[in-house]
Structure 1
Amino acid sequence: MIDFLIIGGGIGGISAAARLAPLGKAVVLERESALGYHASGRSAAMFEPNYGSPSTVELSHASGDFFKSEDGGFLSPRGVMFLAAKGEDEAFKRCCESFDADPMDLQQASEMVPILKTEAIGNVAHHHSGEDIDTDRLIQWFAKTCRAHGGEVHTSQEVTKITKLSGGWQVLANGETYTAKMLLNAAGAWVDEVAKLAGIKPLNVTPLRRSMARIPAPGGHDVTNWPMLLDIHENWYSKPDAGSLIVSPAEEDPMQPFDAWPDDMVIAEGLARYQEFVTEEVTRVEATWAGLRTFSPDRNLVIGPDAAEPSFFWVACQGGYGFQSCPAVAQLVADLVSGQTPAIDRKVIAALNPQRFA
């Protein structure tokens, strides 16, 4: 019998599998043909540890050592530049306090990002700790670690039936039956669908779409070393990507769980908001895509055993913070399952506990 059957091969599921595999037989079932296909594969791939709710910030900071030291590190310098329009002094001050960002001279900011429209910008701040995450290598490292401890990772496995047994769970996927002592729900936007299949009370979450557009490097500039640009209200952001620039409207439009695609009007609105802060007009879009970010009602992650059925374990609602928090989340999962005392503060664990929705 499998000890830990994990449904979902995004960053939440595969990182948990890597930490559970040393504790027993771990098997990951991913519906798509590759790991990290949906939300994980469409992430902005940033490690900004001060981003998110207080519990998420704690998890992200607790993940920092892993990102910097494990397997040579998974981070590369990027930085985040926060932009405020004129007349937004108080909101700018709150942003700097929230992200521990340092105000900077507008001329200095323009030297760093030469397309800034200085006449439209009232204040600029910069945070050096924002870094790029090598997300593909990270996913593969967790998968490799899982397999190295005897775990299995199966893709193209659509779960169609889940049955509760007296000593665990029986799961049917692509005509094959898996029997496990513990079932971990790491299905991203589909966590409620998996819960319903298992006869578990769903969280009643609604996935939120987040779109991206890739545009050519503005003005022919070399954008390699530009920081991520973020409107202080998070109405848009941009980030260098393989010689081009990705721009997001940063929208949160409610969607049913499915393979999301962007709305052209939403993309256009986001690009228009971006253009208010820059001198270069967007004349061409190279590509667009979208992903679904899933949050709990209180915006905290949901990590822990179900209130009614402890053998059903939630690894859910990671929103836009899955990558930056996954090392600490995966270790917390392993600690809670094994009965070890977690390094994470008890108040944070309580904030993540699924029983808060019981």
Structure 2
Amino acid sequence: LSSFLKKIEVLTSKNVEKINTDTKKIKSIEAENEEIEAEIFVFAAGASSEKIAKMAGLSHIVLEARRRHLLISEEIENLKENMPYYWSLDPQLYFRSESKGLLLSPCDITAVEPEKLQPTAKCQNWLKERLQIAAPKMANLRYQNFWAELRTFTFDNNFLIGFDPYLKNLFWVSALQGYGITCSAGVGESASDMICGKKPDIDLNPHSPSRFK
């Protein structure tokens, strides 16, 4: 929103076709016949971050995209919208109220190639198995919709935030592992501080791209 208020041009739905670099920095990015130059480039491409890195000639960044399923149950009579959410680690299970029913997840983790992401109906069986253990009365819930999402991980399960050790004008914001909704505001503020030469309020060293060297 601030970009629009400051009349900064925002390009969306542009496919990156080429990244032009020299030995120490990114010179420009070509996206659908348009060449974009900048002092600093921020890579915040989620599950596609590793693919974008390879386009820039970087091989040190290795990320893993993992699939997780979400399901929406049919409407449940007398369900309270303000009910607390449920999150169990053993068995892995999550649910909360959503659209007069429940939003549920078996908290599955399957490594996949981002371009080949497809949901599987097996997620209903996985969920039923977990519900039979944790909430038996809910085991026979019926579902009106399900889909799969991607979460991105590093080798040590820390985020990827900071300047790249090889391309000095490249800043990484990726591998938030599905915590983007809760962490994105703080991550964005800290990233902005670093890009502007300020010291962020939190220690980002555990999340530095330099650990991939």
SS in 2 for 1:343: coil
Q: Which residue of 1 aligns with 2:14?
A: 157
Higher helix residue share: 1
TM-score by length of 1: 0.56
Distance change in 2, residues 1:160/1:267 (3 Å): farther
1:237 matches 2:57? no
Q: What whole-Å deviation, never above 9, does each CA across 1:23-65 have from its counterpart, x for those lacking one?
A: xxxxxxxxxxxxxxxxxxxxxxxxxxxxxxxxxxxxxxxxxxx
Q: How many residues align?
A: 211
**Of 175, 179, 200, the match for 1:342:** 200
Q: CA deviation at 1:169?
A: 2.2
Return the alpha-carbon distance in structure 2 between the equivalents of residues 319 and 289 of structure 1: 18
**Of 206, 210, 213, the match for 1:351:** 206
Q: Which residue of 1 aligns with 2:34?
A: 176
| Aligned Cα root-mean-square deviation (Å) | 1.9
SS in 2 for 1:152: coil
Distance change in 2, residues 1:234/1:145 (3 Å): farther
Return the alpha-carbon distance in structure 2 between the equivalents of residues 319 and 349 of structure 1: 16
Consecutive unaligned residues of structure 1, counting only runs of 5 or more, are 1-143
Distance change in 2, residues 1:335/1:209 (3 Å): same
Percent sequence identity is: 27
Return the alpha-carbon distance in structure 1 between the equivalents of residues 177 and 9 of structure 2: 26
Q: Which residue of 1 aligns with 2:80?
A: 223
Q: What whole-Å deviation, never above 9, does each CA across 1:266-321 have from its counterpart, x for those lacking one?
A: 33212331243141443521001111100111111110011112211111101111
Return the alpha-carbon distance in structure 1 between the equivalents of residues 183 and 3 of structure 2: 18
Runs of 4+ in 1 over 4 A off after TM superposition: 165-168
Mapping for residues 244-263 of structure 1, pairs under 5 Å: 244-258=101-115, 260-263=117-120
Retained in 1: the 8 A contact 2:159–2:207?
yes
Consecutive unaligned residues of structure 2, counting only runs of 5 or more, are none
Q: Which residue of 2 aligns with 1:325?
A: 183
**Of 291, 300, 308, the match for 2:158:** 300
TM-score by length of 2: 0.91
Retained in 2: the 8 A contact 1:211–1:291?
yes
Q: What whole-Å deviation, never above 9, does each CA across 1:313-337 have from its counterpart, x for those lacking one?
A: 1111011111211111111111111
1:199 matches 2:199? no
Q: CA deviation at 1:258?
A: 2.3
Mapping for residues 28-107 of structure 1, pairs under 5 Å: none
Return the alpha-carbon distance in structure 2 between the equivalents of residues 302 and 150 of structure 1: 30
